[in-house]
Amino acid sequence: MKRCYMMILVFLAGFLMAGAELSEDELDDLQDGIRIGSVNDDTIDGDDDVEYVQLKFSTNQKEDSPDDNKYYIRVTIEMTDKKTGTICYAQFAREQGATDTEYTGSDRWQFLVALGDMKRPKITASVIQYGILLEKDGKPDFVVLVEELDDVDTLKELIERTPTRSEQKPKIIHQYDYVTSDGETDSPPWE
């Protein structure tokens, strides 16, 4: 069962405002228009002849979102091997990265985990979180602006019910859309 929750920062206001450089109104403005969509999972063969579990999804935000924020994506999946019954989770986070000056606000992502010893893996739950990195007490603090949950209610629940982390290191690759000087929409290679 998929649910998309827009995080309401009212209950976090005191916590966030202690170290954040943005006001509650500025954070609300950042949340406005941010969406996670088109979530699909599959097993694919990579260019490196390795088989991967893949979670593909898109994010969309306003074209005029402030450039001075560091947007981050954090993905956590629970995988179950249908053949052996083995259950583990994989998690990875990364910065969105630089975009072209004519960025449209549309991004595509692939979360990839090599199969390793798993024979018939299936993604049985996932948490996709998109947010910004602020500084709190001199340390980075990930503030979730929007999240997509599948077959789990919280990230904490997923990690508590699946305490074994995958031995395979996941990766996230990213692609975005921009408008060319000819007025056409184009995308750079996956990075």
The CA-atom distances, in angstroms, between 124 and each of 107, 158, 182 are: 24, 10, 44
Pick from 64, 54, 61: nearest CA to 37: 61
CA pair distance 181, 191, nearest whole angstrom: 22
Is residue 66 scored above 70 in pLDDT? no
Domain range annotation of the chain: 2-186
pTM of the model: 0.84
- Can you say whether the dihedral through the CA atoms of 101, 102, 105, 106 is positive or negative? negative
Neighbours of 27 (CB within 10 A): 23
Give the containing element (helix H, strand E) for 175. Answer: strand 171-179
Reported as a single tens digit per residue, the pLDDT across 3-43 is 433 332 223 333 333 344 678 888 888 888 899 999 999 99
CB 16 within 8 A of CB 143: yes
Reported as a single tens digit per residue, the pLDDT across 154-172 is 999 999 999 999 999 999 9
For residue 65, which amino acid is it? Answer: S
Helix or strand or coil: residue 24?
A: helix
CA pair distance 179, 110, nearest whole angstrom: 22
